[in-house]
Every structure is written in C-alpha cells, then in structure tokens.
Amino acid sequence: MNLSIVAGARPNFMKVAPVIRALRNIDIEPRLIHTGQHYDQSMSATFFDELHIPEPDANLGVGSGDALWQTAELIHRLSLDFNQHRPDVVVVVGDVNSTLAAALTASKMEIPVAHVEAGLRSFDRTMPEELNRLVTDAVSEFLFTSEPSAEENLLREGVSHERIFAVGNVMIDTLLSRLDCARALCPAVDMGLPNRHYVVVTLHRQSNVDDPQRLESILKAVDEVAEHMPVVFPLHPRTRRRMREFGIGPLSSGVMIIEPQGYLSMLGLVDAARLVMTDSGGVQEETTVLRVPCLTLRENTERPITMQIGSNQLVGWHASDIVAAALSAFEGPERIGQIPELWDGRAAVRIAEILSRNVASQEAEAVCEPALIDVRRDAPLKAAW
C-alpha cells in the first residue's frame, strides 16, 4: 500500500506520530508530507524530536499567510507531490488548513481520503476549523471518530455507516506513551511552581485573540485568578502580537509569561496543574484524560464528551464568569471526571488495521472487476475505486 500522511501544524504532529508507528508495525511505510504551515522551531521541529517522528519525506514549506492563499498554495504543492508519488490513500488529521487542502486535492485526483478525528462539530461556522471539518468529512472515504457525538453528527449529515469507524483518540495515544517522560522532566519544579497549586493558561484562538474586547476581558480574568493562585502562561506568538497591537498589558506579577513549550514540557505542566484555562480543543482532551479541572474560554466545543464525563466546563470570555468558575474549581477536588471509552492508547493500532484490511480488499475487488466497455466508442472506462 502506498499511503501518504499529511501534517502541517502543531496539533497534527501529536496525532500522526502514533499512526506512523502503528503502520510501520504492520509493514506499511507511509510517506510523510510536512506542509510547513507551522514554521517556528518551537511550534514544529521540536515536536518531531520529542515524539520520535521520522524526518518528512517532503516539506512543502508553505509558511504563514492569509488562509485562502495558504490553502490554495497548499493545493498546488500537494497536487505536484501526489502526481509524482501517487498514493493509494491520503491520511489527514484534525481540522487545520493543511487538512482541508490535502483532502480537497486528493479528492479531486480521485485518491481516497482517510480523516482521523472526523465528525467533530462546534456548530459555529464562524470558526475556520468548523468549515475545514465539514468539507474534509464530506470528501473522505474513511472517517475515524474519537467519540460518540462524532458518529451521530456524520450520520445526521448523510454519511453511510460503512464509512464510519469508532477508533478512539490518537492524541491520547501520544499522551499515554509520553506521560512518564513528561513527568520526569518536572517542568513545574524547575519554574518554582508548587505541585497542583498553579494554573496553566493557553490562549490562541482567532475568535478570542483577534477581538480586543474579548482578549482584554480574558486577560483581566487571568490577572484576577493570579491573585488567588500562581498562573503560568505560555504565550502564543499570535496572542503576543495582538496584545502589542491592542495595547493590552502588561499582566500582573502573579502571571508567569513563558515562551511556547515543547510537547513534553507542556504536558508536564498540565499534568501537575491545579486548573487549566484554555481555548484549545486538544487541551480539553488532554485534561480529560489527566482528570485535571479545565475551563474552556469559549461558548461552544466540538468535543462534548469532555464535558459529559470529563473534567471540562465551558465558561465563555467574560471576566466575571471565568473568575467565578476558577474560584469554584479551587474549592472542588483536585482531580475530576472519567476517561472516555476507547481513549486507551490503541486508536492508531485500530486505524492501521482498518486501512490495511479495507484498502487491500478494495484493491482486490478492482483487480477482479471486469473492465467496463463503452460500446459506442469501444473504449475501456476506469472502474470506480
């Protein structure tokens, strides 16, 4: 099987690492294409080292830019790669622009698409990620879901049950395989933060940081929470730029602003935290498995399982709501919630087995299928994949 895996942004790397290992374990050597959507060393290359991801077979180096330009440029560059190294299947993960571009390119070239983390919906089409998810799922042949709501969403959208596979969460595969290493680093101790007595904040989503009213309100809440417990804040480059542009800051002395962290350091910080405040979808999942109380600084989530049985709570962006929820969390237990079904570290193994079995079956059927003949022109027609 010729299989290409496309990744390009920090959340993608955590998801492709276990899939690559699982495929190699059944003697399938995937071709890894790094789109270069994230180009900063701390946001990209260090993840390859820490997650033991092999060097990409191709690095498209698209870099930063307007979303429309970036997607169009990726489609062009990916089409050249797929033409030169035509895969039997293209595997995409998550919901970033690289995911959308790869899915559209493969679909146009009649190459089956496998979407890892399919079916997640926030039902908010102002989110760029939501449009990416909808379109990617619409053109995918294999839809690998991480929670029950994802399958329900896909079925409601008319996807046939035969194309949907409940496999679990590949990002949790990575977390469980690297947790001991993250804990051994003891990043909180090195920063002078008391174990389970500090708050981690992550903030990067466009709807929060590009809106000065929302950004100011959230950072006001961060300052107020820091009056009750130390806060560590790995500052995303986009958020840093917007704070400077809007003239917001500096934050109080109780907030420790640090550079974006590598995967292991960030995981270690979250694992030992008393509370996490975030607008990241992936962090919602990580805190659910670690059972760390989490406040999501959004009004919706595409990962409802993290609220239904996990440790997550939606609090929006108003300072008063965030602070009230944080103080309430401080009064509660240090660890809460349950771990969702199939979040057991074997999602990638299931994906590899399904792809191997189904693609081999489809190829066998294509070989055995008699050629279709157009009797009017006496010309063979290509059988559907």
Distance of alpha carbon 226 from its chain centroid, rounded?
Answer: 29
Task: Give the type of residue at 362.
Answer: Q
Q: Token digits for 197?
A: 């007595």
Contacts 24+ apart (CB under 8 A), 354-362: 354/142, 354/144, 354/165, 354/167, 355/1, 355/3, 355/23, 355/28, 355/89, 355/91, 355/114, 355/142, 356/1, 356/26, 356/28, 358/142, 359/1, 359/88, 359/89, 359/112, 360/1, 362/112
Q: Identify whether 54 is preceded by a cis peptide bond (ω within 30 of 0).
A: no
- Sequence-separated (6 or more) residues with CB below 8 Å from residue 333: none
3-state class (DSSP) for residue 122: coil
Buried b / exposed e along 169-185 (16+ C-beta atoms within 10 A)? bbbbbbbebbbeebeee
- Cβ-based burial of 291 (10 A; exposed 0-12, middle 13-18, buried ≥19): middle
CA distances to 177, 196, 283, 352 from 188, rounded to whole Å, are 20, 9, 17, 36
Buried b / exposed e along 319-328 (16+ C-beta atoms within 10 A)? bebbbebbee
H-helix or E-strand spanning residue 93: strand 89-93
- Contact between residue 67 and residue 97 where contact means Cβ atoms under 8 Å apart: yes
Task: Give the type of residue at 172.
Answer: I
Q: Token digits for 300?
A: 């919706």
Task: Give the type of residue at 317.
Answer: W
CA-CA distance, 13 to 17, in Å (whole number)? 6
Catalytic entry in 204, 228, 236, 318: 204
- Told to judge if 204 belongs to the known catalytic residues of this protein, a careful annotator would answer yes
- Catalytic positions: 204
